[in-house]
């Protein structure tokens, strides 16, 4: 059966949209069975299809009848049995024995039925159709497969293109039907409908057959796809047939020879002017088609050494045509470029998945281009081969002008592809996608569609990696194309902070940095749960298909605020982050540990710290290298047992430990002693070694200031106890008064520093931290809040680099306090010794007097008097002088300290100076301090 | 507990105040008058062992020793619902039972111990809504528990202040309040050394509903307390001049030979008054050095 006939009929069926494929078949079979009635039916059908009045209908009707009778003669067998046997054989041959058996059964049933009268015709028709679809399958096989694969991975694109293809095919079928009506109108004997390139027709009608008889072929999917992807060719063909319609004249074969000889004559006449015979257009067309495929022709060749096509200057081509040809060859040049790129890249092992997708997308475009070439080729071939039999007008065959018009769209597309290759060359992964994305916002919808398609193919692997990462936390990125990088050598302890990072160059430009960070964070959180928290239940393994259903690949680069991808990412990010936080709070008791830090390392648990200091008071004045950790641990243990610390949970108390810092020469136990808190596992992610280091520094500073408070309160107790005893000694009262005076000033200072740290620094930052901890959305925010808390108190407690001088000054003041303690303790000792000696002498006198002897000898008395005088004349003035020096240097230092914090850039330190000089005692004594806190001073300083 | 606290309740006033104190404390910690934890307080995380210790039967017992020479106040306590709260072993009454009759010499011989109070304190308490309001009002003389006369000759001032603020207090509010107090010069401090208002914050008991969000207590050392001593001293001098009540004192062993103890006590109080007055002046340090200097020579 001639293919073109069959196609023409199929197109008929298609144009009659409200009549399904099967009913059409029935019409036809009916028409073949009963002569006269069927003739009426055919007439009806023709009138229905053409929709014109009966007088114009006659030629069409005659053509239809002829066509039908032609088929009936082709199908000679009128024996139902023979046809059914043929079908069975065929099915068996195709190894579909089951189907064959089923067919026999169904056929048997059909025989019993009286509804269908023309069984053999129906069977015959169906059998013919099977052969057709098989043909289609073999011809379109590899592409069909390729597209099928493609469709599965991008639903959205499929939908979009199916729509467009539908509209194309509608348009096309309309064009075809019009073309047909025109050709029937001429009523000529052997009219071949050549307006549609036959290969195209085949593909297209094959598709529709499959839709009608899905059970006969199992390539339904593939044909739909080929339908969609061949749409652009269809579009071309439709254009062509439209054009055909416009020119509208199909001339009988006999006239063609005349016309073509006329053309040849014209050509030779023109060439005669140049001296070289002009080449016929068909040769030029062939040359151009060669060039389109990047192949050298006879006249049009790639110029060796130069990257361009060259037309043989001696060839008989006139200037205008030459220019036209050169313009056409540009397409070939670009094809060459794209093809070479694809070829070279497919052997590139470092290309990566994204690059491969890019090449695949290009190849897909190329195969469509090939199809166009095939169409053109067959068109050309038809013209040439049928020259002997058929003759059509110029407009009926392929011309250079037509070629130019038809290749306009492919030209633009190929140009765009070449441009893409230029800018994407050497790029891979997300960077490649970024580059492609930059071409997406093209005003030309066809280019936009092209780039969109290529991009959607290229993004596939990225999207796959991305969804794999955010759902299961696994990285499948052999070529380092994804924007999340992993460092496998990082141990699990620092997984959160160091193991995964953002590969900034690979972040596709259609994702914002915050999105990229969320992606990173989500996968990281899953890994964190799995590897650090050992929480395997947490992450639900998701069906990849569901993922795809949730958000399409294209939503990845659709920049709408509420795109599917954005919503999906947001939801998963939230879910995972919540899970991590929940795990941290509920399972790993983060807040309890945080509280433990505050209680023990930041001295929040007052009674415990005080008692610990009581217990360590004997131990820590020793030299640092004389300390034993186990002794100190024992002391810590008893301090816990005796205070409210005992009510803390055992897990927390177990982590509390003693630590001795690195000792330098001359350090005492006070300098190196520190509490420590062991953190591990998930909480170690928040309490990083750096954070713990900060805690230790803070402990050291707070512990020192606490010790000053402790020393001063001890001195106050001593003053209360001893001053009553010592005031009986001569000359001691001024010293007592002085000591009291200095002590009260020091107590004030230390208390205010303590108060500042406790309330202005610790309490305020703590309140802020608490609030942030509650409102944290993810672990990173929690970590950031904690670090901000530590930074804040480190700065305000004068432990940062900027406050180094102020801290040194503070330590110098603390040293003076220690010195004061030494002076006072020594003086108490001397005073107490003096009192004891006096008492001893007195009791000696009393004892001897009772025994009836002289109480005391003059010499003994003299020794005592000498000693008394020494105390009065030497010890007292020396101590007084020491105290004077100490007091004045102390006051100088405090004033300098106040000036330093007034000059400090951190305005929060004003709280401290405000407290230290609440009653403006120092301000009234120091003229510089009077101006230091004014606005002008601060401004001057800041400048 | 390290640094345990033991409350000594002495005499009529001490025991009356103590009684009210333990009532309040029991209510704040959710402890019933019998010393048993109330049902609603069993989940509490408050530390009761600062003021109470636990007997074997889980009763909370105040860390208090009650002393009196006459039984009236303690009898009242022992007939109240709180009778079972205290440990009977911690209550001491005079066997004579008649009391000292305002004669401290009798008390001295009976108890055999001399108790000195060194620090003299002005106490003020206030309940309000904001920290500033509370701290400001605490400084107003009308809210103080000790009334002192205004002395025109001396420029009396605060030596130290401690404010205990209870309730929901934003720590940043404390700073602002102090700033306001300084700006408005609401408190006059000593002119010879640094001084400021110490603030301690404490939580409110969840078991007591009060209309006030914030309440405060101020403990202060103010030089004007000297006027109180001065008045007492002048009254003493009048009585001494007329030899009033001295017969009762001479009955006790300590005063049988002479009244030196009374004279030296007067001397101590006089010194205290002098020191307070000196502390109102900027040259307090030199005063101390010179005054003591006389002793040497």
CB proximity B138 to A under 8 Å? no
Which residue in chain A has the smallest CA separation from B200?
Answer: A755
Q: Which of B1, B192, B292 is opposite residue A733, by nearest beta carbon?
A: B292
Q: What is the average pLDDT across A511-531?
A: 89
The pLDDT of residue A828: 92
Residue A223: is its pLDDT beyond 70? Answer: no
Residue B154 C-alpha, separation from nearest chain A C-alpha, in angstroms: 19
What distances in angstroms separate CA A362 from CA A411, A428, A935, B114, B171, one per listed residue?
14, 15, 70, 106, 67
Sorted by sequence, the CB contacts under 8 Å of residue A350 that are 6+ apart come out as A428, A479
> Is A548's pLDDT higher than 70?
no
Q: B68: exposed, middle or buried (C-beta count within 10 Å: 0-12, 13-18, 19+)? A: buried
Mean pLDDT of chain A: 75
- Among B172, B198, B289, the residue with its CB nearest the CB of A751 is B198
pLDDT at A546: 57
% of chain B surpassing 70 pLDDT: 83
Q: With 50 as the cut, is the pLDDT of residue A141 above it? A: no
pLDDT above 50 for A764: yes
Distance from the A907 Cα atom to the nearest Cα atom in chain B, whole angstroms: 14
pLDDT in tens, A723-744: 888 888 888 888 888 999 999 9
* Residue from B199, B283, B229, B157 nearest A741 by CA: B283
pLDDT tops 90 at residue B208: no
Chains A, B: CB contacts within 8 A come to 101
> Is B194–A643 a contact, with Cβ atoms under 8 angstroms apart?
no
Rounded to the nearest 10 degrees, the angle between the axes of helix A54-74 and helix A35-50 is 130
Find, in chain A, the residue whose alpha carbon is nearest to that of B290.
Answer: A734
Checking if the pLDDT of A150 tops 80, the result is no
Contact flag A759-B197 (C-beta cutoff 8 Å): no
Choose between A307 and A445: higher pLDDT. A445
Cβ of B2 and A642 within 8 Å? yes
Give the C-alpha separation, B15 to A551, whole Å.
Answer: 78
Alpha-carbon dihedral angle through residues B175, B179, B180, B183, given to the nearest 10 degrees:
180
pLDDT tens for B132-159 read: 888 888 887 777 777 676 666 678 889 8
Q: Note whether A731 contacts B: Cβ–Cβ < 8 A.
A: yes
Percent of chain A past pLDDT 70, that is, above it, reads: 73
Record: contact A749-B172, CB cut-off 8 A:
no
What pLDDT, in 10s, does the model give residues A396-417?
567 888 888 888 888 888 888 8
Q: Which residues pair with B160 in a beta bridge?
A: B221
- Number of residues in chain A: 943
* Coil vs helix vs strand at B201: strand
Q: What tens digit of pLDDT does each residue of A568-587 get?
A: 888 888 888 998 899 899 98
Q: Compute the nearest-CA separation of B194 from chain A (Å).
A: 5
CB contact under 8 A, B194 and A749: yes
CB–CB of B196 and A748 under 8 A?
yes
Higher pLDDT, A136 or A597: A597
Alpha helices (H) in A871-916, listed in sequence order? 876-903, 910-916
Where residue A713 falls among pLDDT bands split at 50, 70, 90? very high
A416 has a chain B CB within 8 A of its CB = no
What integer pLDDT is reported at residue A13 of this predicted model? 38
A737 contacts on B by Cβ (under 8 Å): 285, 288-289, 292
Minimum mean pLDDT among A67-76, A557-566, A634-643, A930-939: which range? A67-76
> Is the pLDDT score of A821 beyond 60?
yes
A850 vs A347: CA distance, rounded Å: 122
A644 touches chain B (CB under 8 A): yes
For residues A255 and A244, give the distance between their C-alpha atoms in angstroms, rounded to a whole number: 18
Are B196 and A738 a contacting pair at CB < 8 A?
no
pLDDT digits (tens, 9 = 90+) for A181-194: 333 333 333 333 33
Residues of chain B contacting residue A741, judged by C-beta atoms under 8 Å apart: 193, 284-285, 288
Better-predicted residue by pLDDT, B291 or A576: A576
ipTM: 0.84
First CA to last CA across chain B, in angstroms?
49
Who's near A165: CB < 8 A, 6+ residues apart? A227, A228, A230, A231, A234
Which of A918, A926, A933 to mutate against chain B (most B CBs within 10 Å)?
A918
Q: Do B2 and A760 touch (CB under 8 A)?
A: no
Report yes or no: A756 at the B interface, CB cutoff 8 Å. Answer: no
Contact B295 A731 (CB under 8 A): yes
- Closest-CA residue of B relative to A611 is B2
The alpha carbon of residue A595 is apart from the nearest alpha carbon of chain B, in Å, by 14
Q: Does A648 touch chain B (CB under 8 A)?
A: no
Compute the half-sphere exposure of residue A613: CA atoms within 13 Å on the CB side of its CA. Answer: 22
Please say whether the beta carbons of B219 and B121 come within 8 A. yes
All residues at 6 or more sequence positions from A428 whose CB lies less than 8 Å from its CB, including other chains? A350, A351, A352, A354, A355, A479, A481
Are A759 and B175 a contacting pair at CB < 8 A? yes
Task: Give the chain B residue whose CA is nearest to the CA of A643.
Answer: B1
Q: Which secondary-structure segment (H or E) carries B160?
A: strand B158-167
**Looking at the complex, does the CB of residue B264 fall below 8 Å from at least one CB of chain A?**
no
Per-residue pLDDT at A445: 86
Is a pLDDT exceeding 80 seen at residue A262? no
List of chain B residues whose C-beta atoms are within 8 Å of the C-beta of residue A736: 292
CB < 8 Å to B182, chain A: 914, 918
Q: What angle do CA A613, A615, A621 make, to 5 degrees?
A: 75
Write out pLDDT tens, residues B94-136: 766 555 555 555 545 444 333 333 734 555 656 666 788 888 8
CB of A682 within 8 A of CB of A779? Answer: no
Average pLDDT, chain B: 79
Count of helix runs (H) and strand runs (E) in chain B: 9, 9
Is this structure's pTM higher than 0.90? no
State mean pLDDT over A856-883. Answer: 87
Contact A741 B292 (CB under 8 A): no
pLDDT at residue number A943: 42
Backbone angles phi, psi at B242, to 5 degrees: -90, 5
Contact status of A614 with chain B (Cβ, < 8 Å): yes
Residue-wise pLDDT tens digits, B173-184: 888 888 888 888
Do B296 and A730 make contact, defined as CB atoms within 8 angstroms?
yes
Give the tens place of pLDDT for each residue, A48-62. Answer: 777 766 666 777 777
Report, as an integer, the average pLDDT of A815-830: 94
Q: Which chain B residue lies closest to A614 (C-alpha atoms)?
A: B2
pLDDT at res. A202: 36
**Between residues A128 and B225, the one the model is more confident about:** B225
Contact A233, A161 (CB under 8 A): no
B134-147 burial by CB neighbour count: b if 16+ within 10 A, else e? bbbbbbeeeebeee
**Residues contacting residue B130 through CB under 8 Å, at least 6 positions apart:** B173, B177, B213, B214
- Which of A740, A752, A759 comes nearest B171 by C-beta? A759
> How much is the average pLDDT of A287-293?
85
Shortest alpha-carbon distance between residue A771 and chain B (Å): 13
The model's pLDDT over A888-942, given as tens digits with 9 standing for 90+, comes to 999 999 999 998 888 888 777 888 888 888 888 888 888 777 766 555 555 554 4
State residue B271's pLDDT score: 86
Mutation target to probe the B interface, by most B beta carbons within 10 A, among A638, A759, A919 is A919
Work out whether strand B91-93 and strand B122-128 pair parallel, antiparallel, or are unpaired.
unpaired
């Amino acid at each position: 059966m001639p293919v073109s006939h069959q196609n023409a009929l199929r197109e008929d069926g298609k144009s009659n949209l409200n009549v399904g494929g099967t009913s059409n078949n029935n019409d036809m079979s009916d028409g073949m069975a009963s002569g006269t009635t069927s003739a009426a039916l055919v007439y009806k059908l023709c009138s229905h299809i053409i929709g014109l009045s009966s007088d114009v209908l006659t030629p069409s009707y005659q053509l239809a009848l002829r066509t039908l009778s032609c088929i009936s003669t082709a199908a000679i067998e009128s024996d139902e049995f023979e046809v059914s046997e043929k079908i069975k054989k065929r099915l068996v041959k195709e190894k579909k024995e089951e189907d064959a058996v089923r067919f026999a059964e169904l056929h048997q049933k059909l025989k019993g039925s009286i509804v269908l009268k023309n069984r053999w015709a129906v069977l015959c028709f169906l059998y013919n159709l099977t052969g057709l679809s098989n043909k289609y399958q073999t011809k379109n096989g590899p592409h069909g497969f390729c597209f099928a694969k493609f469709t599965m991975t991008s639903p959205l694109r499929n939908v979009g293109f199916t729509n467009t293809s539908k509209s194309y095919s509608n348009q096309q079928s309309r064009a075809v039907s019009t073309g047909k009506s025109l050709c029937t109108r001429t009523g000529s004997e052997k009219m071949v409908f050549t307006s549609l390139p036959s290969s195209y027709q085949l593909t297209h009608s094959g598709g529709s057959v499959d839709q009608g008889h899905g059970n006969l072929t199992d390539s339904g999917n593939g044909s739909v796809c080929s339908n969609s992807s061949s749409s652009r060719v269809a579009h071309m063909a439709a254009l062509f047939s439209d054009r055909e319609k416009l020119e509208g004249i199909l001339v009988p074969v006999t006239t063609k020879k005349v016309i073509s000889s006329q053309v040849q004559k014209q050509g030779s006449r023109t060439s005669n002017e140049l001296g070289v015979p002009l080449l016929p257009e068909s040769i030029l067309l062939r040359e151009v088609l060669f060039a389109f495929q990047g192949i050298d022709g006879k006249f049009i060749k790639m110029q060796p050494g130069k990257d361009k096509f060259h037309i043989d200057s001696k060839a008989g081509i006139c200037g205008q045509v030459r220019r036209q040809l050169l313009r056409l060859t540009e397409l070939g040049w670009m094809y060459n470029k794209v093809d070479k790129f694809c070829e070279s890249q497919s052997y590139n092992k470092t290309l990566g998945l994204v690059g491969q997708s890019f090449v695949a997308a290009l190849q897909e475009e190329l195969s469509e281009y090939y199809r166009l070439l095939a169409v053109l080729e067959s068109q050309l071939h038809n013209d040439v081969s049928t020259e002997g039999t058929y003759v059509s007008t110029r407009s009926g065959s392929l011309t250079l002008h037509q070629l130019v018009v038809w290749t306009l769209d492919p030209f633009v597309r190929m140009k765009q592809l070449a441009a893409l290759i230029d800018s994407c060359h050497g790029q891979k992964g997300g960077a490649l996608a970024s580059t492609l994305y930059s071409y997406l916002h093209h005003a030309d919808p066809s280019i936009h569609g092209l780039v969109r398609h290529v991009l959607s193919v290229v993004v596939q692997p990225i999207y796959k990696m991305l969804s794999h990462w955010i759902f299961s936390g696994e990285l499948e990125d052999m070529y380092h194309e994804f924007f999340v990088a992993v460092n496998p050598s990082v141990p699990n302890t620092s997984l959160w902070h160091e193991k995964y990072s953002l590969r900034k160059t690979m972040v596709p430009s259609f994702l914002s940095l915050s999105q990229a960070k969320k992606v990173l964070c989500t996968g990281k959180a899953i890994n964190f749960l799995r590897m650090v928290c050992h929480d395997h239940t947490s992450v639900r393994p998701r069906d990849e298909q569901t993922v795809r259903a949730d958000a399409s690949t294209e939503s990845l680069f659709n920049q709408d605020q509420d795109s599917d991808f954005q919503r999906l990412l947001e939801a998963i990010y939230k879910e995972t982050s919540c899970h991590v936080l929940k795990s941290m709070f509920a399972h790993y008791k983060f807040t309890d540990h945080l509280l433990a830090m505050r209680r023990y390392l930041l001295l929040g648990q007052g009674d415990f710290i005080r008692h610990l200091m009581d217990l360590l008071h004997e131990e820590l004045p020793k030299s640092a290298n004389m300390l034993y950790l186990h002794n100190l641990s024992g002391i810590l243990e008893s301090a816990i047992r005796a205070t409210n610390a005992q009510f803390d949970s055992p897990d927390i108390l177990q982590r509390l430990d003693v630590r001795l810092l690195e000792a330098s020469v001359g350090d005492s136990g006070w300098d190196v002693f520190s509490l420590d808190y062991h953190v591990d596992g998930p909480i170690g992610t928040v309490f990083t070694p750096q954070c713990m280091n900060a805690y230790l520094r803070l402990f050291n500073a707070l512990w020192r200031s606490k010790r000053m408070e402790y020393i001063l309160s001890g001195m106050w107790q001593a003053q209360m106890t001893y001053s009553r005893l010592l005031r009986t000694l001569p000359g001691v009262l001024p010293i007592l008064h002085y000591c009291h005076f200095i002590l009260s000033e020091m107590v004030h200072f230390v208390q205010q520093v303590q108060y500042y740290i406790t309330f202005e620094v610790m309490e305020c930052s703590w309140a802020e931290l608490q609030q942030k901890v509650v409102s944290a959305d993810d672990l990173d925010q929690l970590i950031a809040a904690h670090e901000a808390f530590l930074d804040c108190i480190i700065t305000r407690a004068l432990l940062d680099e900027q406050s180094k001088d102020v801290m040194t000054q503070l330590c110098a003041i603390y040293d003076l306090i220690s010195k004061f303690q030494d002076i006072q303790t020594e003086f108490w000792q001397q005073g107490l010794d003096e009192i004891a000696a006096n008492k001893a002498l007195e009791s000696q006198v009393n004892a001897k007097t009772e025994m009836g002897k002289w109480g005391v000898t003059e010499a003994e008395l003299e020794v005592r008097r000498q000693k008394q005088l020494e105390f009065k004349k030497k010890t007292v003035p020396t101590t007084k002088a020491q105290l004077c020096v100490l007091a004045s240097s102390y006051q100088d230092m405090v004033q300098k300290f106040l000036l330093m914090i007034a000059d400090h850039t951190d305005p929060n330190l004003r709280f401290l100076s405000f407290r230290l000089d609440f009653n403006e005692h120092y301000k009234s004594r120091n003229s510089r301090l009077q101006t230091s806190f004014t606005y002008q001073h601060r401004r001057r300083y800041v400048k | 507990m390290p640094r345990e606290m033991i409350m000594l309740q002495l005499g009529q006033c001490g025991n009356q105040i103590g009684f009210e104190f333990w009532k309040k404390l029991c209510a704040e910690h959710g402890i019933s008058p019998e010393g048993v934890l109330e049902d609603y307080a069993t989940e509490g995380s408050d530390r009761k062992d600062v003021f109470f210790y636990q007997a074997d039967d889980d009763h909370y017992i105040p860390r208090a020793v009650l002393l009196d020479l006459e039984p009236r106040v303690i009898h009242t306590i022992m007939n109240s619902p709180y009778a079972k709260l205290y440990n009977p072993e911690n209550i001491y009454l005079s066997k004579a039972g008649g009391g000292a009759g305002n004669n401290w010499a009798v008390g001295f011989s009976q108890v055999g111990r001399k108790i000195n109070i060194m620090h003299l304190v002005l106490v003020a308490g206030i309940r309000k809504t904001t920290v500033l309001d509370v701290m400001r009002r605490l400084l107003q003389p009308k809210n103080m528990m000790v009334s002192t006369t205004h002395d025109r000759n001396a420029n009396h001032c605060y030596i130290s202040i401690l404010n205990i603020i209870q309730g929901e207090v934003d720590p940043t509010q404390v700073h602002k309040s102090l700033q306001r107090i300084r700006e408005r010069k609401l408190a006059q401090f000593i002119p010879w050394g640094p001084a400021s208002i110490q603030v301690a914050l404490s939580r409110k008991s969840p078991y007591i509903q009060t209309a006030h969000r914030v309440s405060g207590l101020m403990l202060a050392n103010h030089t004007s307390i000297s006027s109180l001593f001065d008045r007492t001293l002048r009254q003493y001098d009048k009585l001494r001049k007329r030899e009033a009540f001295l017969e009762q004192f001479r009955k006790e062993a300590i005063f049988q030979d002479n009244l030196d103890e009374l004279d030296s006590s007067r001397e101590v109080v006089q010194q205290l008054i002098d020191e307070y007055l000196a502390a109102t002046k900027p040259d307090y340090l030199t005063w101390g050095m010179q005054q003591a200097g006389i002793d040497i020579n």
